[in-house]
């Protein structure tokens, strides 16, 4: 795909790029939906919200910041 001054050279290139972006968007939505379904299927947890947040913060800190 070539672009001239920030525009597509022809309508076909533009259509192809729109389709590619649409597929990427659909893939992202499908991934989020799978994660939601997985979470719903896992049932109700036994940890408190404080426990969940503490674990998330620990994981986010990474190994060089005291996390795993």
In contact, 24 and 17? CB cutoff 8 Å? no
Amino acid 5: pLDDT: 47
Taking the domains of the chain in order of start, what are their residue ranges?
10-65
How far, in Å, CA of 68 to CA of 58, rounded? 7
Q: Give the model confidence (pLDDT) of 1-52 as tens digits.
A: 555 546 899 999 999 999 999 999 999 999 999 999 999 999 999 999 999 9
Residue 67: CA atoms inside 13 Å, Cβ hemisphere, count?
A: 12
Position 66 scores a pLDDT of 53
Task: Give the pLDDT of residue 50.
Answer: 97
Whole-angstrom distance, CA of residue 33 vs CA of residue 27: 10
Single pTM value for the model: 0.57
Bridge partners of residue 4, in order along the sequence: 7
- Higher-confidence residue of 57 and 67: namely 57
């Amino acid at each position: 795909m070539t672009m001239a001054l920030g525009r597509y050279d022809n309508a076909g290139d533009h259509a192809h790029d729109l389709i590619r972006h649409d597929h990427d968007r659909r893939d992202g939505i499908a991934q989020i939906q799978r994660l939601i379904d997985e979470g719903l299927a896992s049932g109700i947890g036994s940890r408190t919200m404080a426990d969940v947040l503490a674990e998330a913060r620990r994981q986010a800190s990474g190994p060089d910041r005291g996390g795993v």
